[in-house]
Chains A and B, each alone.
Chain A
């Protein structure tokens, strides 16, 4: 079955440490997105990528980095520069351009906690 897989489900980060969240999709979608969700709040866009080897900053990109070397993969690195990284991180994918009237498919999320 096609879908998006996020791993790990839970992640603990020590102060000053970089961590990478994995997002893999087998839906053949061109566009992929990373969102951050804080308790009781909506989703805020971190980064998005419309095509391989290209990505754009979202509203809260500071302290995060991404890469898009393969169509299927869009990993997110939470760097030590992100001062408040504890949150629920969601990855999504969709068909851009002429497919802009399609919905997003989401992964099941990674819960990151700073210890």
Chain B
């Protein structure tokens, strides 16, 4: 069963704007991860945040985690056309990972 649910399902912005995607999950987790998928390709790991962390940065990415609300957000700042892809959150509880249905981000040049 899928653990995470991303919101919105689709997001369209102009280049240079910020993009925010949200993820909600249902059970206790060890960590939460965000992945990117270009059309027809495999997933690429972007960033991992542990359950005892609240915020993490990596380049233009900022991830927050609120374990009390069982939610996370991914912020991509100063978006570029090359950021166009699907973004998935994934939660790890024990020995496997569960993925949400993803947010489809389109960045218009």
Contact = CB atoms under 8 A, between A and B. Distances in A.
Given A90-B42, A101-B30, A35 B99 contact: yes
Contact of A106 (B2, B44, B50, B98): B44
Contacts of A31: 95
B43 A104 contact: yes
A100 B31 contact: yes
Nearest to B101: A42
Given A48-B95, A96-B95, A101-B50, A42 B42 contact: no
B84 to A, nearest CB: 16
Interface residues on chain B, size class: 20 to 34
Contacts of B40: 88, 109, 111
Contacts of A4: 42
Contacts of B100: 42
A51 to B, nearest CB: 11
A48 B44 CA distance: 19
Interface of A: 4, 6, 31, 33, 35, 40-45, 48, 50, 56, 58-59, 88, 90, 92, 96, 100-109, 111
